[in-house]
Structure 1
Amino acid sequence: MPVGLVVVSHSRALADAAVELARGMLPGRELAVGVAAGDVDGGLGTDATAIADAIAAVDSGDGVVVLMDLGSAVLSAETALELVDDDVRERVVLSPAPLVEGLVGAAVTAAAGADRDRVAAEALRGLAPKQAHLGG
Structure 2
Amino acid sequence: MTDPVGIVLVSHSAAMAAGLRELLHELGSGAVPVVLAAGTEDGGLGTSYELILRAVAEADHGAGVVVLPDLGSAVLTAVTALEDHPRADVLLVDAPFVEGAVAAVVTASAGAALAEVATAAQDARGFRKF
- After TM superposition, the score normalised by the length of structure 2 is 0.91
In structure 1, the partner of 2:31 is 30
In structure 1, the partner of 2:16 is 14
- State how many pairs are aligned: 128
SS at 1:60's partner residue?
Answer: coil
**Unpaired segments ≥5 residues, structure 1:** none
Distance 1:40 1:75 in 2: 17
> Percent identity between the aligned chains?
49
Structure with greater proportional helix content: 1
SS at 1:130's partner residue?
Answer: coil
Compute the displacement of 1:66 (Å): 0.3
**Alignment RMSD, CA only?**
1.4
Distance 1:67 1:82 in 2: 15
Deviations 1:58-97 (A, max 9, x none): 112211100010001011111221453x5xx111110100
Distance 1:129 1:78 in 2: 25
2:128 is the alignment partner of 1:130:
yes
**Unpaired segments ≥5 residues, structure 2:** none
| Runs of 4+ more than 3 Å apart | none
Question: 1:66-85 residue pairs with structure 2 within 5 A?
Answer: 66-84=67-85
Amino acid of the structure 2 residue aligned with 1:24? E
In structure 1, the partner of 2:95 is 97
Distance 2:99 2:54 in 1: 24
Q: Is the CA contact (8 Å cut-off) linking 2:25 and 2:34 kept in structure 1?
A: no
Compute the displacement of 1:33 (Å): 1.1
Distance 1:127 1:93 in 2: 17
Amino acid of the structure 2 residue aligned with 1:42? G
Compute the displacement of 1:24 (Å): 2.1
Amino acid of the structure 2 residue aligned with 1:63? G
SS at 2:45's partner residue?
Answer: coil
In structure 2, the partner of 1:43 is 44
- After TM superposition, the score normalised by the length of structure 1 is 0.87
